[in-house]
Amino acid sequence: MTGPSGDGPGGARGSSQRGPARPQPGDGLSPGQAAEIHEALDAERAETLARITALRHEFDGIVDSTALVATDDEHDPEGATIAFERAQLAALLEAAQDHLGDLDEALARLREGRYGTCENCGRPIGAGRLAARPAARTCIACASRQR
């Protein structure tokens, strides 16, 4: 007996998989799969928001602590360290905000039924890539060409 895809019992994914079935991008998601992905994206979004809040708090703390002190970064041995920490936190904050935007876009693609389809070539994005990078917009082949 063959499954829905004609390739044996249970179809291409088989019926002996443990845990929730991974979505096969490009062939539509079941409501359960879409809900599972939405939940995972929401959880990662909440973690990212918490990271942004913590980074902003830390950045503001550095700025506040140096605002009342006449620090000459050029001649003060601590000045270079403070400037480095401030720049590092700013970069981490920017990366977290970019990731939040990527997650919001992934949620929009999920709502629109485009989640899991490569934005460059239109082919499915592998389930392994989506598991590792839920906000991925491109398949591995297109991502490696973009480098």
Return d(Cα 117, Cα 95) in angstroms, integer: 24
Would you say 103 and 40 are in contact if contact means Cβ atoms under 8 Å apart? no
Q: State whether residue 117 is helix, strand or coil.
A: strand
More confident of the two residues 34 and 97: 97
Torsion angle, CA of 95/96/102/103, rounded to 10 degrees?
160
Its pTM stands at 0.71
Q: State whether residue 18 is helix, strand or coil.
A: coil
Q: Mean of the pLDDT values across residues 60-89?
A: 74
Residue 43's pLDDT is 95
> Phi then psi for 76, rounded to 5 degrees?
-85, 125
pLDDT tens-digit map of 37-66: 999 999 999 999 999 999 999 999 988 877
Return d(Cα 145, Cα 40) in angstroms, integer: 28
Domain spans of the chain, in order of start: 31-115, 116-147
Return d(Cα 25, Cα 62) in angstroms, integer: 44
